[in-house]
Chains A and B, each alone.
Chain A
Amino acid sequence: MKANGSVFKYGDNVDTDVIIPARYLNSTEGAELAKHCMEDIDKEFIQKVHPGDIIVAKKNFGCGSSREHAPLAIKCAGVSCVIAETFARIFYRNAINIGLPIIECPEASARIDGGDRVEVDFDSGVITNVTKGETYQGQAFPPFMQGIISAGGLVNYINAK
């Protein structure tokens, strides 16, 4: 599986409140949530994002509230992958469970800039910065998590058991 897209770059501690503000949590619909994705950190994100685009951030991405609405909003906004130096643990679980590809890579997080064209190979964990002509080695998932991802999320994984 591969992702390929243009990068939206953010900093440290992007919390789930700015990813999807609580004023929209009265909805559980991915498409509805996506309309407000990143609204409180980047008002223009939803106008500019194209299917396949990639979010790159620094440390502790997705901290705060456990709302699964956050990875869901990102996924339904068309984002193909989130790369960060580190992820907050609940966001990390939620992303795997709903099938939003994420990858931890401090080097990529430091080197990639907004607007760069980036390719991600999830099997190898290799991230290619097409714009800068660089590659970075991201952390591939442990086999257990790969099992959940290749089943298409936790629900399918449990159904297949």
Chain B
Amino acid sequence: MGMTMTQKILAAHAGLSEVRAGQLIEADLDLVMGNDITSPVAINEMKKMKNQGVFDRDKVALVMDHFIPNKDIKSAENCKCCREFAARQELTNYFDVGEMGIEHALVPEKGLVVAGDAVIGADSHTCTYGALGAFSTGVGSTDMAAGMVTGKAWFKVPAALKFELVGKPSKWVSGKDVILHIIGMIGVDGALYKSMEFTGSGVKNLSMDDRFTICNMAIEAGGKNGIFPVDEQAEEYMKEHSARPYTVYEADPDAEYEAVYTIDLSALKPTVSFPHLPENTRETGTFGEVKIDQAVIGSCTNGRISDMRMAAQILKGRKVARGVRCIVIPATQNVYLQALREGLIETFIEAGAVVSTPTCGPCLGGYMGILAAGERCVSTTNRNFVGRMGHVDSEVYLASPAVAAASAVTGRISSPCELED
């Protein structure tokens, strides 16, 4: 029996010719990543270890992104802990205010991950990098600490689900709608412990940004990782962003999948996840009026340049509805600068939106857009759990940048098609 793409990468990193689903292995890591929330815990754990040094100062990345610029004294102390650790360990890849971005947008942009890599990150959305044909998965802080010291992590080799993508998405349908549709179909534990392997003739019709968004939310279906095959678009992206050599792995024709789903991208509609689970999906046009108080456009899911362009295209020449706060957060300094150069920032400000420096802030109810009791937010982020963005009685509706921008204009959750009529 053949191996899936994920299994091949894991076998190669464990020094084995083959692995099987369920097998426990120890794999060499190409990158160990953490942020300002998870790294301080890892750094404290590392202090208890015999070996106090990182395995490779080029292969550990710390990205300050959740609560910075520091939201309060405790957050400032956490960042200080990371900053001092990075200096002490002489880390090559430490990103602070001025250089930082939201980790899962920044790490690929900086070329720190390429196809064939095995990566762990102390953040659940580390699965994002599967878009590049890498195995990457989220872990906790103790795993991060062990990874920083040993350069290794233990894994149970995952079984796989295959998503055969066909067709071409219509104008206002993007990667976000694809992954929300899939989560709605299989549920928030539909891929529990498994890898989600995306393939098929429709892949070429998805941009790299779409693929990052899709892999980013694999965790919202319980997946261990999401992964795309490496095509010309992916190779172009890697050549543009990284000097590192990459290795292309392909699934064997007889690889085993627990289930195969065919998704016709041309049949998808702009999709919204209703509170309080990402699996509560509904297509726009199938529900009544849902008034909103806030729209957030950004995050590791949807803060990339194509997201900014999509939002600006809708907000151009229009105004954010009275009573709605629209918060736009480019995910990295580069995205911010590019958006500025293209005039997108001007469009946002003229429309009545605010534009923030990169931060995870509002997505997890940290700061920069907390909700009061009874308030509703349409958000391009990835979770709509109870209290995720503020008060336990507030509500988050997950959607694409196109839907969030259109909703900001109408003041209720809307498909961009409504603005075209």
Contacts and interface: CB of A to CB of B under 8 A. Distances in A.
Contact of A97 (B75, B126, B140): B140
Interface stretch (B265-273, B346-354, B382-390): B382-390
B140 A94 contact: yes
Among B41, B78, B138: residue with most chain A CB under 10 A: B41
A80 to B, nearest CB: 20
Nearest to A99: B142
Contacts of A144: 24, 154
Contacts of B143: 93-94, 97, 154
Contacts of A97: 140, 142-143, 146
B301 interface: no
B341 interface: no
A90 B193 CA distance: 9
A88 interface: yes
Interface in A78-113: 86, 88-90, 93-94, 97-98
B366 A154 contact: no
Interface in B388-406: 388, 392
A17 B276 CA distance: 12
A64 B142 contact: no
A6 interface: no
B122 A66 contact: yes
B37 A25 contact: yes
Nearest to B78: A26
A154 B143 CA distance: 8
Nearest to A88: B222
Interface stretch (B8-16, B43-51, B92-100, B305-313): B43-51
Interface of B: 24, 37-38, 40-41, 44-45, 48-50, 66-67, 71-72, 74-75, 78, 122-124, 126, 138-143, 145-146, 149-150, 154, 188-189, 192-193, 219, 222, 224, 277, 364-366, 383, 385-388, 392
Interface of A: 13, 15, 17-18, 21-23, 25-28, 40-41, 59-60, 63-69, 71-72, 86, 88-90, 93-94, 97-98, 142, 144, 153-155, 158-159
